[in-house]
Structure 1
């Protein structure tokens, strides 16, 4: 019986010896991470677009921790299972492997990741609820802001 080895990337359509291609030959704009799903700490740190945009390792670690904390609180308020929260965190980590923290608001990306994780894990929440709860957490020090979004958006 012929079993395909995990090192055989031909079944993924990956162009051999090209660190700038992902599955199906699409170009990667973010360094040399290629199409692999697994990266060493060294690979992540050396290819970080955030680092290239002037964000140091300590700041990037803080930003990652902050969106993880946000997602945990967010998921609990949405009453989704822990697996959905974990999926949202993985989605965020994967996004920021390819994109810079300097060019993307981490809480907006985290909100989108939670919405998508709900769909993937079959625990969806209405977009209205996702946006409202995210906004409440982000603006928790400004109660008037929550009242404004409820009034303006008809939420």
Structure 2
């Protein structure tokens, strides 16, 4: 029988990984390729200059593409991580040892300041990334569980419970 109880602390790196995963799923378009393509097209357009393909419109379009690339890059590398760190630092649970228990019906989390039990069908979806497992209550609200919390048999058992529950995986 697998031990279905584990304890963990959520670290800032887990919050960052979770935020990046949720935002990338929500955007549906990978930001890095868009940033590189927009930057490259903008630079090529500026190098070609006026009088070619689109006349006076080419430099304007090129600057718009470069601006788009700058906005997306600042969002990916500055805004999203900054917001995730800010929300993490505001959370009262960041310093608490959290106990996670799960079974075929759902999971419960408990810390000093909070206790919650959620049934699998009441979740929106679940997802797994390199360092975290996310249990999403809706598209933007989620429970973060560090993967390092589990041994191999516990991780396999949790996945099996999630799959058997019929909960969709993102």
TM-score of the alignment, normalized to the shorter chain, above 0.5: no
Higher relative contact order (CA 8 A, sep 6+): 2
Question: Which has the larger Rg?
Answer: 2
- Tell me the TM-score normalised to structure 2 length: 0.27
Which structure has more strand as a fraction of its residues?
Answer: 2
Which structure has more helix as a fraction of its residues?
Answer: 1
